[in-house]
Structure 1
Amino acid sequence: MLSSHKYLAPGMTVGLLGGSFDPPHAGHLHISQEALKRFGLDQVWWLVSPGNPLKAAGPAPIARRMAACRDLARDPRIHISDFEARAGTRVTADTLAALQNVYPSVRFTWLMGADNLAQLHRWGRWREIMARVPVGVLARPGDRIAARLAPAARIYRHAMLKAGEAPLLSRAEAPAWCFLNVPMRDESSSAIRARGEWRG
């Protein structure tokens, strides 16, 4: 059974933050809480991936990453999910299709940092992602200009909500996206691993 979220009412708005979370850090928590506040979301799910197909080295075991996420995310609106592992999906387009099949009455919004928007056109079936769900983009330090000039931003400029319309994003019909400049914490999983503070 793929459904594991008991407290979902029809029409609830859920932001999806995907990643390896290897390890999770304060930046993940900050971006989630900003998204909850600014995009009118009821919940945010951290979709802990089995592994990133774009990375050669595998992450730490998913059970360890899930446990670390639960230790960090004490906000009751943030839920830790291994949906991708249970559904057997590896690319975002497939994950979204599976989620919408299991939770047809939930309104999902895909969340990403501006660095991901800059490379979104390299993702598998990325136009399908834009067609399926609204996308909320939160700027990280140094990524704003590159993200705004990215192919995805140019192609879908007509579907961009203004910053003042951000609370409407979670109920907008796709394609729709919103780019927000927010104070971000300049932390990364790779930096934590490089310091030897997390071992797989």
Structure 2
Amino acid sequence: MRAGLPLALPGMRIGLLGGSFDPAHEGHVHITEQAMRRFRLDRVWWLVSPGNPLKPRGPAPLEERLRIAADVMRNPRVEITAIEARLGTRMTADTIAGVQSLYPFVRFVWLMGADNMVQFDRWDRWSQIAASVPIGVIARPGWRMPARFSRAARGLWRYRLPEGQEFRLADCAPPAWALINVPMSNMSSTAIRARKAGART
């Protein structure tokens, strides 16, 4: 985990995985390592957000979430960052623009779970996001088919890479996206928070 900005060399392929990570868990590790392998990424940056505008309740304090994320994710090719807090951004479109401005010669890929693809059309300036950076979608339990036929997927259908070609994603000019199926993990931050709340009662 870096207090400052992550280091990156020109030409690197770097996946950006945003989220509240409240808390980070082995499911996040699983999809990160699968995405790194399947999309042939050099690095993945976890963008631990100050807060999620689509979630009604606020997350745990940022420093606590960063600490837990660093404990959970031990892969040296994954950076745990609070880059959104540093940039002063809350919306993904602004975060991507800020990161691309700081690292103009890096090939970024935005990573998201298939559940987020289902609601992607509700994100602020989602079409601008799709036009700014390739998108790697990772299947999660129960979300494969809904993601494939979501409103955003239908709008971006002609830009989807054929199955088996996802390794090319980072080299594609946006809009471009790929959906990968990976061994499933049923862990979720919501379930972990619920278990902790139950243990306190």
1:98 corresponds to = 98
CA contact (8 A) 1:131 1:174 kept: yes
Q: TM-score w.r.t. structure 1 length?
A: 0.95
- Secondary structure, counterpart of 1:59 in structure 2: coil
2:46 corresponds to = 46
Amino acid at match of 2:53: P
1:47-73: per-residue Cα shift (whole Å, max 9, x none)?
A: 000011122221111001001111111
1:145-164: per-residue Cα shift (whole Å, max 9, x none)?
A: 11111011111111000121
2:130 corresponds to = 130
Q: Does 1:195 align with 2:195?
A: yes
How many Å separate the matches in 2 of 1:147 and 1:97? 25
- Residue correspondence of structure 1 range 1-200 to structure 2 within 5 A: 4-6=5-7, 8-196=8-196
Amino acid at match of 2:193: R
How many Å separate the matches in 1 of 2:96 and 2:184? 26
- Secondary structure, counterpart of 1:45 in structure 2: strand
How many Å separate the matches in 2 of 1:126 and 1:180? 20
CA contact (8 A) 1:160 1:177 kept: yes
Amino acid at match of 1:55: K
Give the paired residue count.
197
How many Å separate the matches in 2 of 1:169 and 1:41? 9
How many Å separate the matches in 1 of 2:66 and 2:181? 29
CA contact (8 A) 1:3 1:102 kept: no
Gaps of 5+ in 2: none
After TM superposition, which residue ranges in structure 1, 4 or more long, deviate above 3 angstroms?
none
- Secondary structure, counterpart of 1:104 in structure 2: coil
Q: TM-score w.r.t. structure 2 length?
A: 0.95
Q: Percent identity among equivalent residues?
A: 54
1:141-192: per-residue Cα shift (whole Å, max 9, x none)?
A: 1111111110111111110001211110011100000011111210100100
How many Å separate the matches in 2 of 1:125 and 1:4? 25
How many Å separate the matches in 2 of 1:104 and 1:90? 21
- Secondary structure, counterpart of 2:165 in structure 1: helix
- Secondary structure, counterpart of 1:191 in structure 2: helix
Amino acid at match of 2:141: P
Amino acid at match of 1:91: M
How many Å separate the matches in 2 of 1:178 and 1:143? 15
Please report how far the alpha carbon of residue 3 of structure 1 lies from its aligned counterpart in structure 2 after TM superposition: 6.2
How many Å separate the matches in 1 of 2:63 and 2:89? 17
How many Å separate the matches in 2 of 1:109 and 1:3? 21
- Secondary structure, counterpart of 1:112 in structure 2: strand
Comparing 56-65 with 41-50, greater Cα deviation is found at 56-65
How many Å separate the matches in 1 of 2:150 and 2:161? 16
Amino acid at match of 2:5: S
How many Å separate the matches in 1 of 2:163 and 2:24? 27
How many Å separate the matches in 1 of 2:108 and 2:37? 15
